[in-house]
Amino acid sequence: MPASLPLQPAETPVTARIIPVDTFDLVVFGATGDLARRKLLPALFRRCLSKQLPSDARIVGVARRPLDDDAFRALAHTALADAIGAFSPGADDVARFLGRLHYVAADPAADDGWRRLAELLQASGDRTRVFYLATAPELFGPLCARLAKEGLASAQSRVVVEKPIGKDLRSACEVNDAIGAVFPENAIYRIDHYLGKETVQNLMALRFANALFEPLWNSTHIDHVEITVAETLGVEGRGDYYDRSGALRDMMQNHILQLLCLTAMEPPSSLGAGGVRDEKLKVLQALQPFDASRAAALTVRGQYRAGSSSGVAVPGYLDEVGDPATRTETFVALRAEIANWRWAGVPFYLRTGKRLAQRVSEIVIAFRGIPHSVFEQRSGPIHANHLVIRLQPDEGVKLWIMIKDPGPGGMRLRQMPLDMSFASAFGFHNPDAYERLLIDVLRGDQTLFMRRDEVEAAWRWADPILSAWADSGDGPKAYSAGSWGPSAAVALIERDGRTWHQDADWDNQG
Ligand code: BG6
């Protein structure tokens, strides 16, 4: 095993509070796969470095591949080096982390390996036991059934699953039934990694720890809301999965709806899992349903063609997935509405896509304009205030306000941001979403995980859009890689006399 990984300065912020968790066994199914290597192992390693994991806590990798503990540790070591890049812990830290790792080769459909897994887990007695199913979703049900059959799903057990949870309401119910047949709802952790992002949690701090915004957070003062999750990447070798999914299922039904829920929900009475999830569910249930004519008028699908991404020529989607006939959308923009007292009449413009001009994810709260101007025309236009909550890159919050342009020349007005970049304010790199979420699972805090009824309500909203698209006979509109999507997405908002917010800084971001 190599002596050390290349180094980077200490990353833990001075304000961070590291509260150790109770000891545990974390069993990762799919331990040799992409999610485990790129996200889970590096996240656990960082928490281990922060001394949050008790010294006897164990991580047991399970997959079909026949490996022993040492071979798995070598694989994990390579994964850490790849994922952590410039970060450089000492050799002792790495060795200590790798020493926690164990490996069992097992397959849900075969008997080999299960006895060994049972012995390994029983040896550690009564402690928190987490099963992380980092596998294809088709295995969620069979794995849960197998865990029950082997007597491994104890009263202290928790199970973690990732999206996609189904591809429509019916299949999502089937998956939820299969997991629910073994684990009670309070032991099921459905991950939406967007909820673990620091800025997403900051949305709750912004809304509920400040008296300033909440009185304005309604249709009387807000003109519209925009949520954009734009990626420059294409499908990156995940064409098989993506082509069966598309942007609505991959991003909108989960990540973007969750952002919408946190933006639009009523203040919960506390941040406990029940309160927050009840309020999010009410938002999902209040979403105006789409029928065929609303889907035709208020949604736009796109698919990228060859173009240039960050200055490099890239192929189109059809070539990437090797199917000239596929109609899977790589972009979606739509106008959603929430039918309740707070939001009636306020459009929520949602958009996401791959191979767009820039990587940027943000929520824009566009306030209404002033009712009357006291300024002369030559003072210049008065722009409505925008509050921009930037998730990535360069996490932060900007409040665009009007000011007087300094210096002589009369009353000239200008739009400027009150600008807080978290990186410059706190001087550290935000922890990856998986660090926070894994620790929450180990602590038994379900606040940032999706409850069954939320997932199903989100599908109930998405299904009619998917059916309307399938019935319409039209395909997605083409857009060039490196653009902002099809022009119809611009028309969608401009028809209402509005434009997508474009931060001046976007031009400077990579
Ligand atoms: C995943 C999607 O859930 O989120 C991917 O399946 C997408 O297609 C990814 O690229 C985006 O996550 P992030 O954290 O990079 O914004």
Report residue 297 as tokens: 């008028």
- Residue 509: per-residue pLDDT: 42
Q: What's the sign of the alpha-carbon dihedral 406, 411, 414, 416? A: positive
Residue to mutate, 229, 251, 331, ligand 1, most ligand atoms under 8 Å from C-beta: 251
Of 35, 162, 231, the residue with max ligand 1 atoms within 8 A of its CB, to mutate for a pocket test, comes to: 231
Contact (CB, 8 A) for 337 and 343 = yes
Bridge partners for 313 per DSSP? 308
Q: Which of ligand 1's atoms lies nearest the C-alpha of 231?
A: 10
Nearest CA to 20 among 355, 397, 333, 442? 442
| 197 Cα to the center of ligand 1, angstroms | 12
Q: Is 145 in contact with 175 (CB distance < 8 Å)?
A: no
| Non-local CB neighbours of 396 within 8 Å, separated by 6+ positions | 199, 390, 419, 420, 421, 422, 423, 425
Output the six-digit token pair for 12: 């833990």
Pocket of ligand 1 contains residue 162 by CB under 6 Å: no
- pLDDT, tens digit (0-9, with 9 covering 90-100), for 303-346: 999 999 888 999 999 999 999 999 999 999 999 999 999 999 99
User: What's the 192 CA to ligand 1 centre distance in angstroms?
Assistant: 10
* Ligand 1 atom at minimum distance from 391 CA: 16
| Element counts in the chain: helices (H) and strands (E) | 18, 17
Number of the ligand 1 atom closest to the C-alpha atom of 361: 16
∠ CA(444), CA(449), CA(450), 5° rounding? Answer: 135
Among left, alpha and beta (phi > 0; psi -120 to 50; other), residue 108 is alpha
Cα 468 to ligand 1 centroid, rounded to whole Å: 25
- State whether the beta carbon of 250 lies less than 6 angstroms from ligand 1: yes
Q: What would you measure as the largest C-alpha separation in the chain, in angstroms?
A: 82
Do residues 165 and 138 make contact, with C-beta atoms less than 8 angstroms apart? Answer: no
C-alpha–C-alpha distance, residues 430 and 200, integer Å: 12
> Which residues, given as ranges, of the chain have pLDDT below 70?
1-16, 85-87, 428-429, 504-510
Structural domains in the chain, sorted by start: 24-162 (3.40.50.720), 195-442+450-509 (3.30.360.10)
The pLDDT, as a whole number, for residue 15 is 57
What is the reported pTM? 0.93
* Strands 222-230 and 360-367, sheet pairing: antiparallel
Distance of alpha carbon 415 from alpha carbon 399, whole angstroms: 10
Give me ligand 1 centre to Cα 354, in Å. 10
Q: Count Cα neighbours of 437 within 13 Å in the Cβ-side half-sphere.
A: 26
In DSSP terms, which residues pair with 390 in a beta bridge?
Answer: 362, 396
What token pair was written down for 103? 């490996």
Report whether 244 contacts 186 (CB < 8 A). Answer: no
The Å distance, Cα 248 to ligand 1 centre, comes to 12
**Strand ranges (E), 396-482:** 396-404, 413-421, 477-480
**Contact 192 CB / ligand 1 (< 6 Å):** no
**Token pair recorded at residue 387:** 């509050």
* Cβ contact 231:485 at 8 Å: no
User: What's residue 211's pLDDT?
Assistant: 95
User: pLDDT for 80-130, tens place per residue?
Assistant: 988 876 567 778 889 999 999 999 999 988 899 999 999 999 988 789 999
Cβ atoms within 10 Å of 429's Cβ, excluding its own:
15
Write down the H helix ranges in 130-272.
Answer: 140-149, 169-180, 198-208, 239-243, 247, 257-264
